[in-house]
Amino acid sequence: MFNDLSRMGKYLGQAARMLVGMPDYDNYVEHTRTKHPDKPVMSYEEFFRERQEARYGGGKGRPVRCC
């Protein structure tokens, strides 16, 4: 029973993060290790910064967007 509750909590947490535009770091790590073993895995801080820049702009010569 607790396994099912734990799994449900994990999926609800992932869904909530996706709703607010925050991708899941654990899924990124698993995907990178299995599909791109030759590429280094970003740290959580690098991953978060890269996702913020992709969503809101800024960095790499792009203008910062507000909305």
Lookup result for tokens 């959580």: 44
pLDDT, tens digit, 9 for 90 and up, residues 33-66:
999 999 999 999 999 888 888 877 766 666 655 5
Evaluate if pTM is beyond 0.75: no
Residue 65 lies in a domain: no
Domain that holds residue 29: 2-56
Residue 14 lies in a domain: yes
Residue 20 lies in a domain: yes
Residue 61 lies in a domain: no
Residue 66 lies in a domain: no
| Cβ pair 53, 60 in contact under 8 A | yes
Residue 63 lies in a domain: no
Number of domains in the chain: 1
The angle subtended at Cα 57 by Cα 48 and Cα 63, nearest 5°, is 140
pLDDT, tens digit, 9 for 90 and up, residues 6-33:
888 887 877 777 776 667 888 899 999 9
| Cβ pair 11, 18 in contact under 8 A | no
Residue 17 lies in a domain: yes
Lookup result for tokens 């993060």: 17
Provide φ and ψ at 57, rounded to 5°. 85, -175
